[in-house]
Structure 1
Amino acid sequence: MTPRPAAIGLVIVNYNTSQQVIDCLRSVRNEALAHIVVVDNASPKDDPDAIAAAFPQVTLIKHPQNVGFGEGCNIGVRWILANSQADFVLFLNPDTVIEANLVDRLLAPFAEPAIGITTPRITTMNEPHSLWYGGGYMSWFKGSARVPGYGQAADAPAALLERDVQFATGCAFMMRRSVLEQCGGFDHRFFMYEEDVELSLRVLAAGYRIRYVPAAVVRHIAQGSQGKEVQSLDMFSGKNPKLAFFVYYAARNRFITVFTHGNTRQRALFLLGFAAWFARAGLGWIKYQRTDAFKALFKGLKDFATMP
């Protein structure tokens, strides 16, 4: 018997980004996707029905609450696992568009059973020659992932080198169904940010590999759901109007990641790095009188310390 072709499901989470989701879905319409699930996170300033109107074949799940990016993805994954025989699940941020043959190129490395995740090269939407993601690794000093070459040439030799990496960005990646079933999806505690770092570490700890595939290309706006006023700013800049939001989740979630997966030496290294980051960032917050950032930081640390 001829084996059936691999079936792929796609999950996208929407939060006030229906037009971006529609643009993303237009870019994937020639890809071999068995199921597409869009989870709307109770968007208060959006009409998610526009997505279903543009693409009637899409399964639109309207969740009554905003449960965050990671849990929104999990809702979509649970639907796919329960209602289909999909062998792989592709995750895309709403503010992305893909280049042709993304699915086939991400699928190819799964011929090796040890590959649990594949992830593409990602460029900046408005500057397609600028690299947003070209593979990454875990920095315990930072408590998060580092992406070598970020903001530099997207066609640099390192960016074009297919290889195993330690970190797959939640912006765009494909995951084997059996690995999802074994390792689970995103940790629901994270709500937003750093959940992809934690998932990557969990998949590696289970003995699987993460493969960076530069021939597969995605273009990404970055912070698309946060509005144009923050898209050109550093997350932790004193000028960022949503600084407190970013500080709270980055601090809390990095502590969760490190104290879940790190050993004693790695935790100590992170605490040293966190102190250095706080000293540097805090000067900028003082300059712009961002007391809200300090309050958000201490709330994040308190919430981490009191987590069950």
Structure 2
Amino acid sequence: MTDHAVERVAICVVSYNSADQLPGLLASLPAGASGVAWHLVVADNASSDDSVATVRRLAPEATLVQLGRNAGYAAGVNAALAAAAPYTAALVLNPDVRLEPGCLATLVTALRAPGVGIAVPRLIDAAGKLILSQRREPTLARAFADALVGAERAGRTVRFGEVVSDPARYQGEADLDWAEGSTQLISAECLRSCGPWDESFFLYSEETDFDLRAGDHGFAVRYVPAARAVHLEGGSGQTPALWSLLVLNRVRLFRRRNGLPRAVLFWLAILLREASRAVLGRRTSRAAVRRLIDPRSVPRMLGEV
């Protein structure tokens, strides 16, 4: 194995009522981060369960940051990064991730390649099924294709798919526009260039924003299938409120990067998608439609600068 002694990785975890998830994550770190010098930083968003006590009991050497309020995922990432000891890279992790042996060392090797600023692993779910974690930048064509034929069918083509759904594309290394945010190793240079994670995205689209900004600064997001992790995917986005937040933040981010006229068309594509699913009885989509047309939400979505 390549010598990683010169690497110093801050493993940054954001917890929020994660007491049931943290033990599994912490147990996976010694083997998952083997061969790399690392330090754990946990930023807790005012959990009401035993998250803080669990970290203190199972990882007493970790740096624990208590935000005192539920400030959101991006704020937690920023707080963890600010509290970390000097590092050459930071591994941003969800509490429901389990690193497989050697995962971090493999990602560190990939991060050393010229131009790479972010390295992400192959992810599987709790049942061992591949998670479609690769993403392309949102476009109008991709939004309307998703609305009309669905993300999985659209994702088989480069032009029309935001979610990369062809399993063959997960077999080899690839450079992405952005990646699912549960497990991302980010170089210190990339973090310095891009600045902090955008805390205006309380939850959802914060990793999209950061990864796309990394691309704007000339850094590649490298998918590394030899690095592997399990993401249990504990139901995020499955409640009407969370799904609505995910949908609205997609529109907000597109507005920022593409201007108002194109954002209005993107909003229309997203509304079409959610309305078609609502007709089929999907509760989350019904809630999203209400938010998409709410006079209080529209200015926030489309008034971004």
TM-score (normalised: structure 1): 0.82
Matched, 1:303 2:285: no
Match among 147, 157, 161 for residue 168 of structure 2: 157
Matched, 1:19 2:17: no
Q: Is the 8 A contact 2:260 2:302 kept in 1?
A: no
Matched, 1:188 2:187: no
User: How do 1:143-222 and structure 2 match up within 5 A?
Assistant: 146-149=162-165, 156-222=167-233
Tell me the residue number matched to 1:41.
Answer: 45
Equivalents in 2 of 1:305, 1:134: separation in Å? 27
The gaps in structure 1 that reach 5 residues or longer are 151-155, 227-234
Cα distance per residue 1:179-217 (max 9 Å; x no partner): 101102321011001111111111101111110000101
Cα distance per residue 1:45-95 (max 9 Å; x no partner): 334212111111111111110011111111101112xxx220000011101
Equivalents in 1 of 2:302, 2:266: separation in Å? 16
Tell me the residue number matched to 2:72.
Answer: 68
Equivalents in 1 of 2:191, 2:4: separation in Å? 22
Equivalents in 2 of 1:20, 1:3: separation in Å? 28
Match among 235, 240, 254 for residue 258 of structure 1: 254
The amino acid across from 2:67 in the alignment is: H
Equivalents in 2 of 1:33, 1:164: separation in Å? 26
Tell me the residue number matched to 2:273.
Answer: 277
Tell me the residue number matched to 1:133.
Answer: 132
Equivalents in 1 of 2:107, 2:77: separation in Å? 19
The amino acid across from 1:278 in the alignment is: E
Equivalents in 1 of 2:284, 2:240: separation in Å? 12
Equivalents in 1 of 2:29, 2:132: separation in Å? 20
Q: Is the 8 A contact 1:91 1:172 kept in 2?
A: yes
Q: 1:295 to 1:173 in 2, by over 3 A?
A: same
Q: Is the 8 A contact 2:125 2:230 kept in 1?
A: yes
Q: 1:290 to 1:258 in 2, by over 3 A?
A: closer
Q: How many aligned residue pairs are there?
A: 281
Q: Is the 8 A contact 1:41 1:63 kept in 2?
A: yes
Name the SS of the counterpart of 2:222 in structure 1.
Answer: strand
The amino acid across from 2:162 in the alignment is: R
CA-based RMSD of the aligned residues comes to 2.8
Give the superposition deviation at 1:25.
Answer: 1.3
Equivalents in 1 of 2:213, 2:6: separation in Å? 28
Cα distance per residue 1:136-195 (max 9 Å; x no partner): 212313569833238xxxxx4321111111112210010011110110232101100111
The gaps in structure 2 that reach 5 residues or longer are 147-160
Equivalents in 2 of 1:71, 1:22: separation in Å? 23
The amino acid across from 1:296 in the alignment is: R
Q: 1:36 to 1:280 in 2, by over 3 A?
A: same
Give the superposition deviation at 1:251.
Answer: 2.9
Q: Is the 8 A contact 1:24 1:96 kept in 2?
A: yes
Identical counterparts, % of pairs: 24
Q: Is the 8 A contact 2:133 2:180 kept in 1?
A: no
Give the superposition deviation at 1:102.
Answer: 0.8
TM-score (normalised: structure 2): 0.82
Q: 1:207 to 1:290 in 2, by over 3 A?
A: closer
Match among 76, 79, 83 for residue 79 of structure 1: 83
Equivalents in 1 of 2:27, 2:93: separation in Å? 13
Name the SS of the counterpart of 1:49 in structure 2.
Answer: helix
